[in-house]
C-alpha cells in the first residue's frame, strides 16, 4: 500500500482567493468535508500529514493585472514550503502577457503555467497568447489546461483548438487535468497522437461515484487500459483543497476505483516524481 505520494495538482491561493474557491465548492457540494475557511498554511499541514512528499501548486489569474501578485504569493509560499513546486498563469487581457510570463519564470521561479478555460473564460490558444506559447515552448516548460466536466460548467470545450495548438507547439509539454472526464478516450487519443501530452488523473477516480454513467464498466476499462498504455505520462493529483473530498477520501478513491497496487505505486510515486524531476525548477 502506497503511504507516500507525489501530487501534481493542488491549489494553495492567497486568503481572499482561497475563500472564494472554497465557498464556490461548498455551494456546489453541500456535504464537502474540507473546511470552508481553510488557509494555504493549513492545507500544507494536511498534505504533509496525508503523505505528500512534493506537490505542484497551480495558481492562475481570473482577471487581468493580478498575475504578478499571485506569483509573488506562490513564490513566497514555495520559499517557506520546500515540498512545493509553484506554477503560475497569465490573463489574455494582460497588457504584456509575454512579460508577465517571463517574470513568472525568471523572477518568481514558476515551473510552468496553468490555464482554466471554463473559469478564465478564454483559451490558451487565443491568438493574443500566440507569443506566450512560443515563449513557453522555447523554455520547454509545461502548461496545464483544464479539461472535462463540460456539462457541469455549462461549457463546450474547443477540442479543435486544443488539437491545433498541440500540433503547432510540439516542444511544449501539456498536462491534461481530469482527462476530459467523462470522455477519457479523447484524452488518451491525444496522448497517442502527441507525445508532449501528460495525463493528470486528478478527480477522475472520485468522479465514478459522483457522475453516474450508463457505461460505467466500459469507462473504467478505458481508464485502466489507458493508464497502463501511457503509464510513464500518467500523473497523480488531488486538487486539494478543492478536489473530490478531503485527502483521506481522495486517496481512498484512488485505491478503490480498481487500479492494481503496482499501478498505484507507479502513478503516485514513480511517474509523478519523474515529472517533478524533469520539470521542477531551481528556486531563483
Q: pLDDT of 197-212, one tens digit each?
A: 999 999 999 998 776 5
| pTM across the whole model | 0.96
Query: Which percentage of the chain shows pLDDT scores above 90?
Result: 89
Q: Find the helix or strand (DSSP H, E) in which 198 lies.
A: strand 197-200
Domains and CATH numbers, the chain: 5-279 (3.20.20.140)
Q: For residues 172-186, b (16+ Cβ closer than 10 Å) or e, as one string?
A: bbbbbbbbbbbbbeb
pLDDT at 213: 63
Residue pair 87/57 in contact (Cβ under 8 Å)? The answer is yes
d(CA 47, CA 77): 14
pLDDT, tens digit (0-9, with 9 covering 90-100), for 142-193: 999 999 987 777 788 999 999 999 999 999 999 999 999 999 999 999 999 9
pLDDT at residue 77 is higher than 60: yes
Question: What does the pLDDT average to over 100-116?
Answer: 98
- The segment with the largest mean pLDDT, out of 103-112, 146-155, 273-282, is 103-112
Q: What is the pLDDT of residues 6-48, one digit of tens each?
A: 999 999 999 999 999 999 999 988 899 999 999 999 999 999 9
Query: In Å, what is the CA distance from 207 to each residue of 20, 149, 176, 220?
Result: 23, 10, 16, 11
pLDDT tens column, 137-151: 999 999 999 999 877
Phi, psi dihedral angles at 200 (to 5 degrees) = -100, 115
Judged on CB neighbours under 10 Å (0-12, 13-18, 19+), 123 is: middle
Give the SS3 label for residue 61.
coil
Please state, as a whole number, how many other Cβ atoms lie within 10 Å of the Cβ of residue 219: 20
Please give the share of the chain, as a percent, with pLDDT higher than 70: 97
The per-residue pLDDT for 216 is 79
Q: Where are the alpha helices (DSSP H) in the chain?
A: 15-28, 40-50, 67-80, 97-106, 117-120, 130-139, 150-153, 159-168, 184-193, 204-210, 216-229, 247-256, 261-265, 272-279
**pLDDT given for residue 209 in this prediction:** 78
Closest C-alpha to 172, from 143, 202, 211: 143
- Alpha-carbon distance of 261 to 21, in angstroms, equals 33
Amino acid at each position: 500500500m502506497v503511504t507516500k505520494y507525489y501530487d501534481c495538482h493542488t491549489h494553495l491561493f492567497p486568503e481572499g482567493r482561497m475563500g472564494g474557491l472554497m465557498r464556490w465548492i461548498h455551494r456546489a457540494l453541500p456535504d464537502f468535508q474540507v473546511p470552508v475557511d481553510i488557509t494555504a498554511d493549513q492545507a500544507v499541514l494536511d498534505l504533509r500529514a496525508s503523505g505528500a512528499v512534493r506537490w505542484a501548486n497551480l495558481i492562475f489569474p481570473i482577471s487581468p493585472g493580478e498575475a504578478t501578485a499571485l506569483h509573488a504569493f506562490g513564490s513566497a509560499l514555495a520559499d517557506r514550503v520546500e515540498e512545493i513546486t509553484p506554477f503560475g498563469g497569465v490573463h489574455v487581457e494582460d497588457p504584456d502577457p509575454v512579460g508577465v510570463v517571463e517574470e513568472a519564470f525568471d523572477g518568481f521561479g514558476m515551473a510552468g503555467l496553468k490555464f482554466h478555460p471554463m473559469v478564465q473564460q478564454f483559451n490558451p490558444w487565443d491568438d493574443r497568447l500566440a507569443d506566450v506559447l512560443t515563449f513557453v515552448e522555447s523554455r520547454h516548460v509545461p502548461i496545464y489546461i483544464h479539461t472535462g466536466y463540460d456539462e457541469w460548467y455549462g461549457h463546450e470545450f474547443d477540442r479543435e483548438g486544443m488539437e491545433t495548438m498541440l500540433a503547432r507547439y510540439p516542444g511544449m509539454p501539456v498536462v491534461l487535468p481530469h482527462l476530459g472526464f467523462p470522455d477519457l478516450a479523447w484524452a488518451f487519443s491525444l496522448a497517442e497522437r502527441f507525445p508532449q501530452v501528460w495525463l493528470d488523473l486528478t478527480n477522475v477516480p472520485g468522479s465514478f461515484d459522483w457522475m453516474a454513467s450508463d457505461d460505467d464498466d466500459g469507462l473504467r476499462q478505458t481508464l485502466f487500459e489507458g493508464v497502463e498504455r501511457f503509464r510513464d505520462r500518467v500523473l497523480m493529483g488531488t486538487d486539494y483543497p478543492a478536489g473530490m473530498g478531503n485527502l483521506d477520501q481522495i486517496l481512498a478513491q484512488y485505491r478503490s476505483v480498481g487500479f492494481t497496487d503496482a499501478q498505484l505505486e507507479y502513478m503516485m510515486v514513480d511517474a509523478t516524481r519523474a515529472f517533478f524531476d524533469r520539470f521542477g525548477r531551481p528556486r531563483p
